[in-house]
């Protein structure tokens, strides 16, 4: 496929708001893509070059792109910058200068050249990136220039994500969403829609179950808990259960083989450098390759007790990690195993996976196999919950004893029961919301650059508002938030946001930052587009370990609302 042809599809997608119509356009695009290029098509329309967990980034900011545009079209950088200020879009700016000519470049050629540009690092790499980008732009037609420029600077946001790609692959194959469930199930094990598109194109969605299995180095989407209000309801829904402590740590997926250790967060980011201790992983297991699900918990060197999430996350820094690891010792509370030595255990019952886990992990002080109690007695669950809370933990996780490992938050397989410190009202749980925009601060907060932020929850691929937050943040948190939001500020409301006109903020931001909020209660709301609102919300913590796709859904918020009413 020629890049010029792909650009006509991108133009059509940019003008389309309907998710169903977007899905149909994408299905048509995928139908016309051959197996050898469909993964590259998928990555480019998502504005990326690989699955997120591969961490392939451009490192090309607006200033570098302005220089590349100037170089490509014989303009001075200052002139390009002035045009950019007027138009507000680098793609439109470049297209204004580009010649109206056809391009013979293919999608694969453009993809490979962008990939080489992204992988160019070290001394002189910025100059080389400018030159390579300029050379590529010279060979393109006007519309291809427009969209290609937006990709490296992260501005090709067309209002859809992986979920729509999955539906579009189903439409390509069946003319409906009937195959989406099969593709989605495979995506949970192989969260790489480009690679999945190749599999569907070559073998069909029905073959994915046998073609896709857990693989070292590829993070499986973790299994997540639901919420239930009482131990009685837990036993009624799940029968015999395993009761385990709920730590305030960092959810980690540990992958080990002869090549070393990789550690992924629940949003599939590679954080291996945070944990140099795992370099000796081979001492703790006889398995040649193993994939574990665990909670990384920071330990106070003096009290020997678990520290909170934010303290543990101080390890996530670029420099001085070895020194930081000494100041914040770590242990991994290991509670599940997904595969070992080429064999998947995801379809084994939980109790069987526990047996395998205990056999494969040697007793040590770094990887601790979590304690667990098998019971069908609600009173025992309540007793254990209180005991763990008294120890300073969050409460308990309750898991159906015969459950398979099913990625995502589906069914009544795992449920959480925890108490939130300071939740004086009815709402005894927290909500993970996405920051959608913010309002300029006044008075003291004028110095912070932010007075309050607008936050929302997910419904499919759209975000609906639930609250504005302007209290409960320290001065340092306001400053940190302002610094973060300045980097993702956008000129117009993203297509995925649904906001009542009376609640529109001074500035919009792209959907990237997730924060955890506590509140006194959830109430019905005529203005918030979720139909529900958080009353007296307050910041609990920044959820750097969560992606926007893992924000609380409207369905989950309604379930919390129902639990609140029944308490």
Let me know if residue 235 belongs to a domain: yes
At 389-420, the pLDDT tens digits run 998 888 899 999 999 999 988 788 999 885 54
CB atoms closer than 10 angstroms to residue 302: 6
Let me know if residue 122 belongs to a domain: no
Confidence of residue 563 (pLDDT cuts 50, 70, 90): confident
Let me know if residue 181 belongs to a domain: no
- Determine the pLDDT at residue 256: 97
At 426-457, the pLDDT tens digits run 455 789 999 999 998 776 666 677 889 999 99
The answer to whether residue 45 scores a pLDDT higher than 50 is: yes
393 and 520 both lie in a single domain: no
Residues 80-97 have a mean pLDDT of 94
SS3 label, residue 118: helix
- Determine the pLDDT at residue 429: 76
The answer to whether residue 566 scores a pLDDT higher than 70 is: no
Which phi and psi (to 5°) does residue 344 adopt? Answer: -85, 135
- Determine the pLDDT at residue 425: 41
Residues 530-556 have a mean pLDDT of 90
- Determine the pLDDT at residue 445: 64
Let me know if residue 173 belongs to a domain: no
244 and 390 both lie in a single domain: yes
411 and 487 both lie in a single domain: no
- The structural domain count of the chain equals 2
Domain boundary among 393, 418, 443: 418
Q: Minimal CA–CA distance to 357: which of 333, 336, 331, 374?
A: 336
Confidence of residue 476 (pLDDT cuts 50, 70, 90): confident
H/E stretch holding 90: helix 90-97
Is 246 among the catalytic positions? yes
Q: What is the CATH number of the domain that holds 520?
A: 2.40.50.140
356 and 296 both lie in a single domain: yes
- Determine the pLDDT at residue 532: 96
Least confident interval from 65-79, 370-384, 466-480, 492-506: 466-480
- Determine the pLDDT at residue 423: 41
CA distance 482 to 506: 13
Considering 155, 201, 246, 458, which one is annotated as catalytic?
246
406 and 450 both lie in a single domain: no
C-alpha to C-alpha distances, 535 to 331, 424, 466, nearest whole angstrom: 37, 12, 9
H/E stretch holding 48: none
297 and 403 both lie in a single domain: yes
Let me know if residue 471 belongs to a domain: yes
Q: What is the CATH number of the domain that holds 356?
A: 3.30.470.30
Q: Minimal CA–CA distance to 436: which of 517, 499, 478?
A: 499
Domain hosting residue 345, numbered range:
226-418
Residue with tokens 């070992």: 340
Residues 497-519 have a mean pLDDT of 94
Let me know if residue 145 belongs to a domain: no
Q: Minimal CA–CA distance to 383: which of 368, 373, 370?
A: 373
Tokens of 281: 């992983």
CA distance 473 to 483: 14
The answer to whether residue 198 scores a pLDDT higher than 50 is: yes
Let me know if residue 241 belongs to a domain: yes
250 and 317 both lie in a single domain: yes
The answer to whether residue 546 scores a pLDDT higher than 90 is: no
Question: What percent of the chain is predicted at pLDDT more than 70?
Answer: 95
Residues 211-220 have a mean pLDDT of 94
CA distance 337 to 458: 30
> What is the greatest pairwise CA distance in the chain?
76
Enter the pTM of the model. 0.82
CA distance 336 to 351: 10
369 and 479 both lie in a single domain: no
451 and 404 both lie in a single domain: no
- Determine the pLDDT at residue 304: 79
Query: Do residues 16 and 22 lie in contact, with contact meaning Cβ atoms separated by under 8 Å?
Result: yes
Domain boundary among 361, 384, 418: 418
At 260-315, the pLDDT tens digits run 999 999 889 899 999 999 999 999 999 999 999 999 998 888 887 888 777 777 77
- Determine the pLDDT at residue 451: 87
At 303-348, the pLDDT tens digits run 878 887 777 777 766 555 666 667 788 999 999 999 999 999 999 9
Confidence of residue 201 (pLDDT cuts 50, 70, 90): very high
The answer to whether residue 567 scores a pLDDT higher than 60 is: no
Residues recorded for the chain: 567
Let me know if residue 143 belongs to a domain: no
Residues 97-125 have a mean pLDDT of 94
377 and 446 both lie in a single domain: no
Domain boundary among 359, 394, 418: 418
Q: Across the chain, what does the average pLDDT equal? A: 91
404 and 437 both lie in a single domain: no
383 and 521 both lie in a single domain: no
């Amino acid at each position: 496929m020629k890049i010029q042809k792909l650009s006509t599809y991108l133009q059509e997608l940019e003008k389309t708001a309907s998710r169903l119509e977007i899905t149909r356009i994408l299905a048509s695009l995928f139908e016309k893509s051959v197996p050898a290029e469909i993964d590259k098509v998928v990555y480019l329309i998502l504005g990326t070059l690989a699955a997120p967990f591969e961490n392939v980034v451009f490192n090309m900011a607006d200033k570098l792109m302005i220089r590349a545009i100037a170089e490509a079209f014989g303009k001075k950088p200052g002139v390009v910058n002035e045009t950019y200020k007027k138009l507000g879009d680098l793609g439109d700016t470049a297209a204004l200068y580009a010649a109206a000519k056809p391009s013979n470049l293919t999608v694969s050629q453009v993809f490979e050249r962008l990939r080489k540009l992204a992988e160019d690092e070290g001394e002189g790499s910025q100059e080389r990136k400018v030159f390579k980008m300029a050379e590529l732009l010279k060979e393109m037609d006007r519309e291809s220039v427009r969209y290609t420029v937006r990709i490296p600077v992260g501005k090709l946001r067309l209002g859809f994500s992986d979920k729509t790609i999955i539906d579009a692959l189903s439409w390509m194959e069946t003319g409906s969403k009937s195959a989406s469930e099969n593709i989605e199930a495979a995506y949970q094990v192989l969260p790489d829609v480009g690679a999945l598109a190749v599999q569907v194109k070559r073998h069909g969605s029905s073959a994915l179950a046998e073609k896709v299995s857990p693989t070292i180095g590829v993070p499986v989407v973790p299994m997540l808990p639901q919420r239930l209000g009482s131990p009685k309801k837990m036993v009624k829904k799940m029968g015999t259960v395993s009761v385990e402590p709920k730590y305030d740590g960092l959810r980690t997926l540990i992958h080990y083989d002869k090549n070393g250790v990789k550690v992924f967060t629940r949003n599939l980011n590679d954080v291996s450098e945070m944990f140099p201790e795992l370099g000796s992983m081979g001492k703790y297991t006889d398995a040649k390759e193993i994939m574990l699900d665990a909670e990384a918990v920071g330990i106070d060197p003096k009290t020997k007790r678990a520290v909170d999430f934010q303290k543990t996350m101080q390890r996530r820094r670029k420099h001085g990690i070895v020194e930081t690891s000494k100041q914040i010792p770590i242990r991994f509370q290991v509670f599940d195993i997904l595969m070992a030595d080429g064999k998947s255990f995801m379809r084994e019952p939980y109790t069987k996976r526990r047996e395998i886990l205990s056999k494969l992990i040697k007793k040590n002080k770094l990887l601790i196999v979590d304690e667990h109690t098998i019971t069908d007695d609600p009173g025992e669950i309540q007793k254990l919950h209180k005991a763990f809370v008294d120890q300073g933990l969050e409460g308990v996780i309750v898991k159906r004893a015969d459950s398979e490992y099913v990625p995502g938050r589906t069914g009544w397989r795992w449920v959480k029961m925890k108490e939130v410190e300071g939740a004086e009202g009815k709402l005894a749980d927290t909500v993970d919301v996405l920051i959608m925009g913010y309002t300029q601060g006044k008075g003291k907060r004028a110095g912070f650059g932010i007075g309050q932020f607008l936050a929302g929850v997910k419904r499919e691929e759209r975000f609906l508002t639930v609250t504005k937050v302007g209290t409960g943040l320290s001065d340092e948190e306001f400053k940190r938030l302002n610094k973060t939001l300045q980097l993702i500020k956008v000129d117009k409301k993203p297509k995925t946001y649904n906001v009542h006109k009376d609640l529109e903020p001074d500035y919009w931001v792209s959907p990237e930052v997730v924060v955890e909020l506590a509140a006194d209660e959830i109430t019905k709301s005529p203005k918030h587009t979720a139909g529900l609102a958080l009353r007296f919300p307050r910041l609990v913590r920044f959820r750097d370990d969560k992606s926007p796709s893992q924000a609380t859904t409207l369905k989950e918020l309604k379930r919390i609302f129902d639990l609140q009413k029944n308490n």
